[in-house]
Amino acid sequence: MSWLADRRIAVTGGAGFLGRHIVEALRRRGCCDVFVPRRADYDLTDMDDVRRLYEDHRPQVVIHLAAKVGGIGHIKERPAEFLYENLMMGMQVMEEARRRGVEKLVAVGSVCAYPKEAPVPFREDDLWCGYPEETNAPYGLAKKMLIVKAQADRQQYGFNAVCPLLANLYGPGDNFDPASSHVIPALVRRCLEAARERSSVVDAWGSGNASRDFLYVEDAAEAIVLAAERYDGAEPVNVGSGREVTIRELAAMIAGITGFTGEIRWDASRPDGQPRRRLDISRAERELRFRPRTALEDGLRRTVEWCRAVSATRRGGDGEREVISYERLR
């Protein structure tokens, strides 16, 4: 049994893409008192709501992953919102946890915090060697401040806050909205639509030469729970696959899995974002005893399968709009 099993645990963002898997991973460990605050009830940018959350549920452990997220285009359109909302949520959730004597807080960060030209693979010590890539900077800097806050609170108050830094996530249940999705769901949706409609072209942003480290969502959830269980250090911990894949290579994989046989047309007038990303995950291997289990090709197949099933249901003649859960497809 995990020591978490008899704790009251709050998971901010626990109803989201990653959060649902974290809640499930906690329940597999015997955690019965897991609370997921909903935005309709608690606005985490409002300190009064944050205080009320702690008063109502008295968590002993907090996993903070609530965030305003989106792809490059979405952040570029709304940089002020991404900075303000993510910064305020993080600072206020962490400060109230510290004031109320929460035993442990896991503040989930992002690879977007790394400098644009950080040496590859990204090592945790390189976080402070430069400014984040410009299109991601409002989000990345807000996430970077979680580390500053955690380390400052540890130094001054002895507060146990830890910061795993996640690679780019993907998997079933991801956001497939064309206005705000990240690269994998965007390419999956476009390739499925093109294959279904027998289109000869799929348009993609950028040159295709940028690279990313992609982590399957279930693996990410396991790593975060392992950080809650096993890690009490001041330094952030990279959580990724340790594998670097170019967007061009990724698009070819997705095209093959979806059955799209046409041309991927790259629009170099659109931003690539950070030129390269690959995380050094040796600290996670050592401190969390974490290794990702899901190969990219396998994770992409599961993601395509999920998206295809959802699309088929939504196209049903009876007008059914149910979103099929991944568990029902396994």
What's the CA gap between 270 and 247, in Å, rounded? 13
Q: Is the pLDDT of residue 326 over 70?
A: no
The CATH fold assigned to 3-167+214-239 is Rossmann fold (3.40.50)
Mean pLDDT for all residues in the chain: 93
Per residue in 264-319, pLDDT (tens digit) is 999 999 989 899 999 999 999 999 999 999 999 999 999 999 999 987 766 554 44
pLDDT score of 198 more than 80: yes
pLDDT of 27 reads 97
pLDDT at res. 315: 57
Nearest alpha carbon to residue 251 among 261, 241, 243: 261
54, 139, 170, 326: which one is catalytic? 139
Looking at residue 314, its pLDDT comes to 64
One DSSP character per residue, 163-212 reads -EEE-EEE-TT----TTT--HHHHHHHHHHHHHHHT-SEEEEES-S--EE
Q: State how far the Cα of 65 lies from the Cα of 105, in Å rounded to an integer.
A: 11
pLDDT of residue 79 exceeding 50, the answer is yes
40 within 8 A of 32, measured Cβ to Cβ: no
Report the pLDDT value the prediction gives residue 200, as an integer from 0 to 100. Answer: 95
Range scoring the smallest mean pLDDT among 70-84, 218-232, 245-259: 70-84
pLDDT at 311: 78
Rounded CA gap, 216 and 168, in Å?
A: 9
Rounded Cα gap, residues 55 and 62, in angstroms: 14
Whether 178 has a pLDDT exceeding 50, the answer reads yes
* Antiparallel, parallel or unpaired: β 34-35 and 9-12: parallel
Residue-range domain boundaries for the chain:
3-167+214-239
DSSP 51: H
Q: Which two tokens stand for residue 70?
A: 């989106």
Per-residue pLDDT at 214 = 98
- Model pLDDT for residues 81-133, shown as the tens digit of each residue: 999 999 999 999 999 999 999 999 999 999 999 999 999 999 999 999 999 99
Let me know if 139 is a catalytic residue: yes
Burial class (CB in 10 A: 0-12, 13-18, 19+), 90: buried
pLDDT of residue 74: 81
Cα angle for residues 187, 192, 197 (degrees, 5° grid): 125
